[in-house]
Chain A
Amino acid sequence: MTGSTLFEQILDPANRANPYPLYAELRKIPVSRQEDGTYVVSTHAELARLISDPRISSDDLPDPQKFRWTGHPITDLLVRPVRAEIRKRHRPFIFRDPPDHDRLRGQVMRCFTPQRVRGMREKTQRITDDLIAKMAGKTRIDLVDDFSYPLPVTVICELLGVPPEDEAQFHGWATQLATALEPNQRGDEETQAKNEVCFNEIADYIQGLIKEKRKNPQEDILSDLATDTDGMNDFDLIATAVLLLVAGHETTVNLITNGMLTLLRFPEHLERLRAEPETAPRLIEELLRYEPPVHYRTRLALADIPVAGITIPKDAPVILLLAAANRDPLRFSDPDRFDPDRPDNRHLGFGGGLHYCVGAPLARIEAEVALVSLVRRLKGLSLTENPPPYRPGASLRGPCHLRLALEEVAEG
């Protein structure tokens, strides 16, 4: 890939297994302009500053491109343009700014209470125990398929109130819609066309679910949102539900998989977690620094913003490279060392500012329960492929499979 920019190299799947040397290269210029006019922010001080800068907008999704003509006038002239307009106006709050963002997020947070999330710890443990029990007798597992994927998906379905038997349907939808986070994919016509179809399908599904929840409310977040008399309109409700569902599918899987991968690469930390499970919280924060599930987020500059000796011009796309800032030696001493005892670990693994990950408390619980249980019960674990194969995304970065050999599954 000679001649390509550093950021293009980062997007190249060939570099997915170890993008960190490229990040180190990129950090030499804290805010660097790419050929296409995008600005990549890769250092901690600059990123921490820009992520809380009110001139940086999250409303950066490209407008839908012109539709390809289907030949059906009602579809082409009415249905699709109307649906496109609705999608544009009722984007999920991850792609919106205050005051709308704050209102929608606030309504979600009202349902996502500490008490409710706390209740998920026990359920997460139960699901974890079930998944580990299924590994009994096996000597080979794929951690992704056998554990890291089904755990968060089951948890988010339970929390939202989505019937687990429907899960198979939106596995594909979630993966497709997550391309909205990949700047090299979301702009192209084919991805947009796929996303349109996909969103319409998932929206129809959610709409049916909302109707059901209103008739027969349950103890779950979707019921709460759907019956909140002071709540959001149905378009925002659908977009929000889709967001929570997709985010619950696509991120925690990476955190857990990266966690086991890292522990197997540094067995002294695996042994320590086994012996001292109370050290899990700090280990998970270090994991969020060292191998974060989301490597970057995109933004848009609303004004000329002077930073690090240059000016990001108005309307420029901005890429906040969280995973590079997490390895910034100016902020973290010996940054490429995995060190759970690191003091003052102000990592950006969950982002920051107004858009700090909504699901962070849940992700922490899931990662803690999962990693503590896995190292306690799976004996004689080893990697059979290092590095493992990765999923294509450069932002939502994680292994698509993590094939492990194991000797024994201990009793729960």
Chain B
Amino acid sequence: MKKPNLRTRSMRFRQTLLSRYLLIVIFAFLFIPIVFPLASIGYVIIQENSKQADDNFLKYGSSRELTAMWHGEAALLQETEAAEVDRRLQELKRKYKEASLFWVDSSGATKLQLPPQSLLPERWSPADAVRFMKDSIDSDPFTIVSFLGAEHKGRAFMVMQMPRSIIQLDRPVGAGTPFYIAALIGMISLFFLISLLFFRRIRKRLIGLQAAMALQGENGLPQPIAISRNDEIGQLETAFNRMVGQLKESAERERAEAELRKQLIASLSHDLRTPLTVMNSQLYTLQKEPLSEKAQAAVKQVEHKISGLDSLIENLLSYTLMASGRYPIKLERLDLLRIVRESVASWYPLWEQEGISADIDLPEEAMLLTLDKAGFRRVLDNLFQNVTRHAKNGSYIGIRMGTYDGRAALVIRDRGNGLAAHSASKGAGLGLAIVEYLLHEMKLGWHMASSDEGMAVYIFEL
């Protein structure tokens, strides 16, 4: 496996999530001092542009253009050519139909009025002029006063009054504020959207990684995943893939080891049992010969020892498997009493032969527990074997349902010499260790009670 570099130098700063996160934070900090002025400037520009656009729609242009036009006209006219002034005003009246036009000569007499206005004084006193000017400021109609002559040096003046509705659109001050607010909200939303997308992407990838970890391939291990980007999560994915690889390797190693151990035990079992089988068969042949009583007893004892050795080998090999956690346990809901009955059925003939009377009292109802069938059979075999071997003198085995510490318990009772008899044989210790292991695996508790009357074994649900 290629040795991975933990701190990959190829991961550049701008590829990191950190850099992107910092970008967003910076954006958030700059939001108030930059975005607000930007929005305001934008607003003003837009406002101006829209005003000009509005002006193009006005019939006679804006007030400024109209004023310029009027001053221009006045500059071309002279008080001395009164007829010319009248003619020009009439022309202008035709052009600007809504406007009221008049002019006043240097003596203050009102000359041509188009149309005639009753409110105008016949002769203008300085006070009249001032009042007119005062009334005209910021009022409707919009009033333009211009002195005649090239430099506007003359004392005569001409006036144009135009209704404001013609030269100005009806636009209240601050009409653009909603747009301004909308723009700001838009900017804020954009900011939120970017942060949200950023976070969502991270979240999605993390969830993907979590799913990959939970998913199990055919070998019970997670599968390696495709690396999406070369950032922090990408590094995490790389590390994850590396871990999956190591897990796979160690699982394979473990499997090989387990296989080797199983092989070893199998051949050990074979090599130990083959001579036992031969001894057994020779003994059988011997038994059929005419033998003295003493020889018969010796044969019987050797036979007994062979069977003891056999079960010792069996227990030893099983215990080796158990100690290394390789003993197969398959838990399922089973009727404990059914297994007990089947086991007793196979032991019964031997008990009859050995003169052990079996007192069996098991209820009809099923007692469903989570058990490993073969394992529980093994527990019973070991316990029954102990009774058969070490408590034979009691000539009794009782198998019934009872209680232990207030819990329903299977009770196996004998009338042997109690624990002393059981522990006299060292082999029993291994058999009981197997009982202990298997019951523990099945989450069952057990208790041995020894007394002068014999031994009682309780098996109960924890």
User: Is chain B a partner of chain A in the same complex?
Assistant: no
| B-to-A contact residues, CB < 8 Å | none
